[in-house]
Chains A and B, each alone.
Chain A
């Protein structure tokens, strides 16, 4: 069917093979060029023919189906594909840089660096999950950081697309993936849970921050299956200086039951980006593994992880949005703040996995004379945090669902917009200030946010009776 042999200098469908970059069990990677095109490109050619792994063909078919549908900075740009029946190949953007595999000699990395790297990968996963894809093979060799800083996820040969037939699922009874990173549910043959990628990222974070793989390197199925019931050593057991917030995040990713992990990659990225806001639970305190009694109970509990229905990836993401609310805690906004709270409460009560980020912008003057202390020497920043928590208190949210953020900025709208983009916020609630001197002078923050936000914007105003034009307040 296909000619498996390629030589440097050969031309395939207009692409000139320059250099063999990698030859793996499933495919070979060539650096290729095309006249009049300066894009750095790679060609992936599957190993097909005698002695080839039959999975190579299926995994290549999956990649061929999935890659052309992906877009954005977190995936290699798809350029071309060869006719499968003539010469199968995929040409894609070649990302400048090295995979995270190159970091292995430097492990363990400093905690802050691990968190930063983890947040980048989590944002990339969030973007991928929003495109209906679960990667299912997240590991250092499949991640490259662009020069511009974004993580890129490589290799979609084991991936699952929520809206396409999963050729891997039915084809093989044994699970596919990379042993040290594979989630317990993947071992059970479940391929449509985006939280499997969060487990793999948890393994990577654990490994990068301790230098040790939490579940070893075992490739044997019996060894791999142990993670279904056996928890890893807490990182603090290995490194006494391990920060509790990072242990909280890492162990939450490594929970054997997907429902106990972060509900979305965006929520994980959020915590990695705000260590001071991570809600610490018993996970953060643990110094030892679970006692054997607990392990045995898990060992014989067959009830864990039932398969999901159709379009599970989408359903999981929709159920766990990050909702931001911009609250003006200065006096005179009582009605508006109440309306904001009611609206936030409606969303949060219908979605138990949603989380709320309360924002307040502490306006800075353009001249750099500002201090964070006011005339009476009080810390304005802390006062605002306290006021935000007070505003949110009636919502009675579990602490793990609530964060407060005071942002110091000259331009409130720009600061809010930046927060929304950086934190993958799904929806922002913002109050429409009624006619005020400030609004006349400064323009409307809500209008600018509504026009430019990368997410849904809900402009909230207190309900009131409509009065005839120019009538002004009067008694009936």
Chain B
């Protein structure tokens, strides 16, 4: 059963009014962290976001999977594109390879989610094309193989696999920005928060987003990105959130304590 939540109506109103969508907020690796995702959504809305894009891994690790999936379902009903992540896939596929802590969390999550939530996750696509932009959870070369974009060579493989001008992905939980020139030369860059970067039209880009719910780049603040389609500017954003609350939810459900601890350091 899909609940239609009126608090997201502003998202469909903008689209219905025929206004050209300019500001897009993109979120990856929410991982059932209610406090983090709420803080990001609030900040993005304050900054005038008109469209929301969801890049997978809504569950796993965190203590609020029901809320997370319900929120994602609401957002999808209100027009947000959403793709599948490996943790989302693991809900319906117990044979997914994972480390011990991730598996403990996934098995608990599987028991907590209702049928409609599990069904929703199982129905998510691996990729989504959106006016020259490609959304994928891990990488564009083999979306279902959950490859980590950890090097310039892997970024090149992903960019080469798609005609999209910009690909957005997550999965590795560390923000990065890669580009490929017309002569197939690569650049790699670790973005500075809140500095808009112009995505030159002459080259193709791979924007790897940091994680909303479990940042691993040494900064505990939740990570997401904003794209201004008019100015072709991408901004990597950080939202501070109630880490205590998120850690308490993990401990309350008896999930591994290390999953709570790492949130404080962002590692």
Binding site for B on A (CB under 8 A): 54, 57-58, 61, 64-65, 83-85, 162-167, 169-171, 310-311
A171: which B residues are within 8 A, CB to CB? Answer: 181, 185, 187
Contact B185 A311 (CB under 8 A): no
B177 interfacial contact with A, CB 8 Å: yes
Stretch at the interface among B28-36, B45-53, B196-204, B246-254: B196-204
Q: How far is the CB of B210 from chain A (nearest CB, A)?
A: 14
Contact B202 A170 (CB under 8 A): no
Q: Which of B186, B188, B192, B202 has the largest count of A CB atoms less than 10 A from its CB?
A: B202
A162: which B residues are within 8 A, CB to CB? Answer: 192
Give the interface size bracket for B toward A. 20 to 34
B195 interfacial contact with A, CB 8 Å: yes
Beyond A57-B202, A167-B187, 12 extra complex contacts between A and B, CB < 8 Å: A58-B181, A64-B198, A64-B200, A84-B200, A84-B202, A85-B202, A164-B189, A165-B179, A166-B187, A167-B200, A170-B188, A310-B192
Contact B189 A54 (CB under 8 A): no
A83: which B residues are within 8 A, CB to CB? Answer: 201
CB-CB contacts below 8 Å: B188-246 with A:
188-192, 195, 197-198, 200-203
Contact B190 A65 (CB under 8 A): no
Contact A61 B202 (CB under 8 A): yes
A162 to B189, CA, bound (A): 10
Contacts known (A84-B202, A85-B201); A163 close to B192, Cβ less than 8 A:
yes
Q: How far is the CB of A302 from chain B (nearest CB, A)?
A: 25
Contacts known (A58-B181, A165-B187, A171-B185); A65 close to B192, Cβ less than 8 A:
no
Residue of chain B at shortest CB distance from A161: B195
Residue of chain A at shortest CB distance from B200: A61
Contact A165 B197 (CB under 8 A): yes
Residue of chain A at shortest CB distance from B198: A65
A54: which B residues are within 8 A, CB to CB? Answer: 183
Residue of chain A at shortest CB distance from B152: A170
Q: Which of A83, A85, A163 has the largest count of B CB atoms less than 10 A from its CB?
A: A163
A381 to B190, CA, bound (A): 53
Q: How far is the CB of B180 from chain A (nearest CB, A)?
A: 10
Contacts known (A58-B181, A164-B197); A310 close to B202, Cβ less than 8 A:
no
A162 to B192, CA, bound (A): 9
B183: which A residues are within 8 A, CB to CB? Answer: 54
CB-based A-B contact count at 8 angstroms: 49
Contact B185 A310 (CB under 8 A): no
A164: which B residues are within 8 A, CB to CB? Answer: 189, 195, 197
A169 to B185, CA, bound (A): 11
Of all A-B residue pairs in the complex, the 8 with the closest CB atoms, nearest first, are A165-B189, A170-B187, A163-B192, A163-B195, A171-B185, A85-B201, A61-B200, A165-B187
CB-CB contacts below 8 Å: B156-195 with A:
177, 179, 181, 183, 185-192, 195
Binding site for A on B (CB under 8 A): 152, 177, 179, 181, 183, 185-192, 195, 197-198, 200-203
A163: which B residues are within 8 A, CB to CB? Answer: 191-192, 195
B198: which A residues are within 8 A, CB to CB? Answer: 64-65
User: Which of A57, A61, A311 sits near B192, CB closer than 8 Å?
Assistant: A311
Residue of chain A at shortest CB distance from B205: A165
Q: List 6 A-B contacts (CB under 8 A).
A: A64-B200, A65-B198, A65-B200, A83-B201, A165-B177, A170-B186
A85: which B residues are within 8 A, CB to CB? Answer: 201-202
Residue of chain A at shortest CB distance from B195: A163
A311 to B193, CA, bound (A): 12
User: Which of A57, A167, A310 sits near B179, CB closer than 8 Å?
Assistant: A167
A167 to B177, CA, bound (A): 12
B181: which A residues are within 8 A, CB to CB? Answer: 58, 167, 171
Contacts known (A58-B181, A164-B197); A169 close to B187, Cβ less than 8 A:
yes
Contact B187 A84 (CB under 8 A): no
A310: which B residues are within 8 A, CB to CB? Answer: 190, 192
Residue of chain B at shortest CB distance from A68: B198
User: Which of A57, A58, A166 sits near B189, CB closer than 8 Å?
Assistant: A166
A308 to B9, CA, bound (A): 47
A64: which B residues are within 8 A, CB to CB? Answer: 198, 200
A169: which B residues are within 8 A, CB to CB? Answer: 187
B189: which A residues are within 8 A, CB to CB? Answer: 164-166
A169 to B183, CA, bound (A): 15
A169 to B177, CA, bound (A): 14
B186: which A residues are within 8 A, CB to CB? Answer: 170
Q: How far is the CB of B152 from chain A (nearest CB, A)?
A: 8
Q: How far is the CB of A232 from chain B (nearest CB, A)?
A: 35
A166: which B residues are within 8 A, CB to CB? Answer: 187, 189
B190: which A residues are within 8 A, CB to CB? Answer: 310
A65 to B179, CA, bound (A): 14
B191: which A residues are within 8 A, CB to CB? Answer: 163
A311 to B189, CA, bound (A): 11
A311: which B residues are within 8 A, CB to CB? Answer: 192
A57: which B residues are within 8 A, CB to CB? Answer: 202
Q: How far is the CB of B250 from chain A (nearest CB, A)?
A: 30
Q: How far is the CB of B209 from chain A (nearest CB, A)?
A: 16
A57 to B185, CA, bound (A): 13
Q: How far is the CB of A80 from chain B (nearest CB, A)?
A: 14
A166 to B200, CA, bound (A): 12
A391 to B222, CA, bound (A): 49
Q: How far is the CB of A81 from chain B (nearest CB, A)?
A: 10
A94 to B133, CA, bound (A): 39
B197: which A residues are within 8 A, CB to CB? Answer: 65, 164-165
A438 to B239, CA, bound (A): 51
Q: Which of B181, B183, B200 has the largest count of A CB atoms less than 10 A from its CB?
A: B200
A170: which B residues are within 8 A, CB to CB? Answer: 152, 185-188
A167: which B residues are within 8 A, CB to CB? Answer: 179, 181, 187, 200, 203
A84 to B201, CA, bound (A): 7
A162 to B190, CA, bound (A): 10
A61: which B residues are within 8 A, CB to CB? Answer: 200, 202-203
B201: which A residues are within 8 A, CB to CB? Answer: 83-85
A170 to B183, CA, bound (A): 12
A310 to B179, CA, bound (A): 18
B179: which A residues are within 8 A, CB to CB? Answer: 165, 167
A164 to B198, CA, bound (A): 9
Residue of chain B at shortest CB distance from A1: B202
Q: How far is the CB of B65 from chain A (nearest CB, A)?
A: 34
Q: How far is the CB of B186 from chain A (nearest CB, A)?
A: 6
Residue of chain B at shortest CB distance from A66: B198
Q: How far is the CB of A313 from chain B (nearest CB, A)?
A: 11
A84: which B residues are within 8 A, CB to CB? Answer: 200-202
Q: How far is the CB of A26 from chain B (nearest CB, A)?
A: 16
A51 to B201, CA, bound (A): 22
A163 to B197, CA, bound (A): 8
Residue of chain B at shortest CB distance from A86: B201
